[in-house]
Structure 1
Amino acid sequence: MSVIQGQMAGETALSTLGWLPASTRQVESFKEWKDFVRDNFPWLEFRNRASGQFDAEIYSQQVGCFGLSMIRTSAGEVKRTRHLAEMTDSGSIKIMWQLSGGLMVEQDDRSCSLSPGQATVCDSARPYRIQMSDQSKFAVLMLPHDYCAGWEHISESICATTLYKGASMRSVLGTLMALTAADRDKGEEDIGAVLDAIQLMVTKLLYRSAEQTGLQAYNDPRLNKARDHIIRNLSDSSFGPDDLASAMCMSRRSLYMLFEEIDTTPVKLIRELRLETAVRALLDSREKNRKITDIAFDSGFGEYATFTRLFKTRYGKTPREFREDSSK
């Protein structure tokens, strides 16, 4: 039984301490790689981008509810399309650490390129694409969604971004490697304690990374839900408090009372999130030739003059000045 098959079949309670033997496999052709991908990573498309003979090496281990793989591969690509994502019953949190070579991950209209020592995350329940450079070596940690409390509130903000490079990131990978090398005959109580510690470190890493993108996690889950609904509807310039209240199954008065907990109003949060979306686009070098008017409209501003006025009030510069200064 492979690590991923075990992980997908074992998305059960976190207290399950099944420990499958580690396995290492040498792959010497692209056909063999395709067979391996089909057996272990279902619902993916893949391409061979190797200039010569394709080869790979895969180490896999499952401990408890998570699966850890170490992969070295020739240049290639794996992709989960929207159609394939809809065919699967559930998804997983997929954290990737780059050890050598390069890796590029795309999801939710974002992409990041990893250098050795960096990490990113994606959600296998949604479409994504991963491109590996020749002789790329990386670690992959697969986890069920409920491993990180509140994952649904931060997922779309941090997938395909470079994770916070702090002690928690180094600790997670280091502890995982130590655990896979540990004596499996030791008592389950010790293993359970380590798994609990890893869960805390993973959650801290993901939330710290979310904060790095400007996403704030609120104590009241209703506020997280409201914020996420706003983000999903930002491009709709007509979206406002009444639409949000309806989506939340709340009266307008109750919605405004809820927002008093964070000392703001629905109108102000909607405006702030739209401005933050525009700022990220203006800072993105891949969008340097994109018209600022298009950025404004895609961020949910119905009038360019209103966008410019609000932007200058918030950041002290016009959008054009902001873009020019950031590119220097």
Structure 2
Amino acid sequence: MGAHIAGSAEEWVHVISESFVPLSLANVSGSFHGSAEQTVLLPGVTVTDVHTYGSSVVLRTPRLVRVAPREDYLFSLHLGGAGAVLQDEREAVLRPGGGALYDTTRPYRLVFPTDTWELVLQVPRRPLRDRVRGIDELSGRALSADHPAARVLAAFLRELAGVSKDLTPEQRAEFGLTAVDLLATALRATAGEETSAPSGRQALLRAMRSCVQEHLTDSSFTPAVLARLHGISPRYAADLFGEAGTSPAAYIRDQRLQAAHRALTDPRQSHRTIAGIAAHLGFTDRTTFTRAFVRQYGMTPADLRAGQRPA
């Protein structure tokens, strides 16, 4: 997106709605103006340097949630001025160096009575929900600037925003994953979770494998969809699965074939046709399913169901 400057409240509504999610504005001072400079780290993961001059209230109203749904979390790292985040009948007072999380699937208010400076990290819901138990209870709660985890996160985001223009796309992607991990660590610390909770590349890979299990019956579920749900690029997803000796496509296919094998050998499912089982597990073409099954198990689905042994 780059840098955008707004000289009026009307322009600012457009800037923040394009930068984040559809929003509205209230209680704006007459001389209000602002700027937002956004860097895309990964698909769906951005960091935005936001400066506002004059008072304002930013609203994600119930109507906007309904007519313009989004599946993201936003984390505001507060660096200057006064502000507060209100969501789910909770209010997080923003102090320099601290921050607060808010969820775009539910209404919220951002109150800024003075000039402010924020760094806003936007992350798809899935990566954080996979990493932070009880995350719904954390929206609208302040992350103290004095907390060690918050200090690490704040230092990283400030440095990342400052040098992002000088990074390659691959470096931005790597640092985007780091930003998500650091945010998850800080949120877990706020929630009192054990610091040994899964994080990093292995935690992400486990989360992606779990996601595949949840979507075995979705024929439109592809490696690209898997990557998008976790806020990473297809290339990064391929690297993660490559470290485990496979690829996203091969892993999805393997898990679908294993599910088909279980169904075909389950007496309780003997009434289901082979074609029906294949279609249910995302194989839209019977011939493709049979060939893949033979490569994996050395026999056709029909032979397996008939009780024959592999050749």
TM-score (norm 2): 0.55
The residue type paired with residue 121 of structure 1 is L
Kept in 2, the 8 Å contact 1:96–1:141? The answer is: yes
Query: C-alpha root-mean-square deviation of aligned residues, in Å?
Result: 2.8
Offset of residue 95 of structure 1: 0.5
From 168, 171, 174, give the equivalent of 2:152: 171
Structure 2 unaligned segments of length 5 or more: list them. Answer: 198-311
Partner of 2:176: 195
Offset of residue 152 of structure 1: 7.6
Query: Residues 191 and 82 from structure 1, CA distance in 2 versus in 1: closer, same or farther, beyond 3 angstroms?
Result: closer
Query: Residues 154 and 56 from structure 1, CA distance in 2 versus in 1: closer, same or farther, beyond 3 angstroms?
Result: same
Kept in 2, the 8 Å contact 1:154–1:207? The answer is: no
Greater shift, 54-63 or 173-182, is seen at 173-182
Kept in 1, the 8 Å contact 2:41–2:175? The answer is: no
Query: What is the alpha-carbon distance in structure 2 between the residues aligned to residue 80 and residue 131 of structure 1?
Result: 12
Kept in 1, the 8 Å contact 2:98–2:142? The answer is: yes
The residue type paired with residue 175 of structure 1 is F
The answer to whether the aligner puts 1:131 opposite 2:131 as a matched pair is: no
Kept in 1, the 8 Å contact 2:80–2:116? The answer is: yes
Query: Residues 62 and 90 from structure 1, CA distance in 2 versus in 1: closer, same or farther, beyond 3 angstroms?
Result: same
Query: What is the alpha-carbon distance in structure 2 between the residues aligned to residue 135 and residue 61 of structure 1?
Result: 22
Query: What is the alpha-carbon distance in structure 1 between the residues aligned to residue 131 and residue 13 of structure 2?
Result: 31
Query: What is the alpha-carbon distance in structure 2 between the residues aligned to residue 27 and residue 183 of structure 1?
Result: 21
Offset of residue 164 of structure 1: 4.6
Kept in 2, the 8 Å contact 1:88–1:125? The answer is: no
The residue type paired with residue 108 of structure 2 is Y
Offset of residue 171 of structure 1: 2.4
Structure 1 unaligned segments of length 5 or more: list them. Answer: 3-22, 218-328
From 15, 23, 32, give the equivalent of 1:54: 32
Partner of 1:33: 12
Kept in 1, the 8 Å contact 2:75–2:101? The answer is: yes
Kept in 1, the 8 Å contact 2:41–2:173? The answer is: no
Kept in 1, the 8 Å contact 2:41–2:169? The answer is: no
Give the secondary-structure state (helix, strand or coil) at the position aligned to 2:26. Answer: strand
Kept in 1, the 8 Å contact 2:81–2:116? The answer is: yes
The answer to whether the aligner puts 1:105 opposite 2:85 as a matched pair is: yes
Query: Residues 137 and 149 from structure 1, CA distance in 2 versus in 1: closer, same or farther, beyond 3 angstroms?
Result: same
The residue type paired with residue 80 of structure 1 is R
Greater shift, 191-200 or 202-211, is seen at 191-200
TM-score (norm 1): 0.52
Q: Map of 1:23-102 to 2, 5 A cutoff?
A: 23-50=2-29, 52-65=30-43, 66-73=45-52, 74-102=54-82
Offset of residue 186 of structure 1: 4.5
Aligned length, in residue pairs: 192
Query: What is the alpha-carbon distance in structure 2 between the residues aligned to residue 185 and residue 96 of structure 1?
Result: 23
Kept in 2, the 8 Å contact 1:57–1:72? The answer is: yes
Kept in 1, the 8 Å contact 2:50–2:118? The answer is: yes
Q: Deviations over 1:215-256 (max 9, x none)?
A: xx9xxxxxxxxxxxxxxxxxxxxxxxxxxxxxxxxxxxxxxx
Q: Which has the higher contact order (CA 8 A, sep 6+)?
A: 2
Kept in 2, the 8 Å contact 1:93–1:142? The answer is: yes
Query: Residues 156 and 176 from structure 1, CA distance in 2 versus in 1: closer, same or farther, beyond 3 angstroms?
Result: same
Offset of residue 176 of structure 1: 3.2
Kept in 1, the 8 Å contact 2:20–2:122? The answer is: no
Query: Residues 182 and 81 from structure 1, CA distance in 2 versus in 1: closer, same or farther, beyond 3 angstroms?
Result: closer
The residue type paired with residue 177 of structure 2 is D
Please tell me whether Structure 1 or Structure 2 has the larger radius of gyration of its CA atoms. Answer: 2
Partner of 2:140: 160
Query: Residues 135 and 62 from structure 1, CA distance in 2 versus in 1: closer, same or farther, beyond 3 angstroms?
Result: same
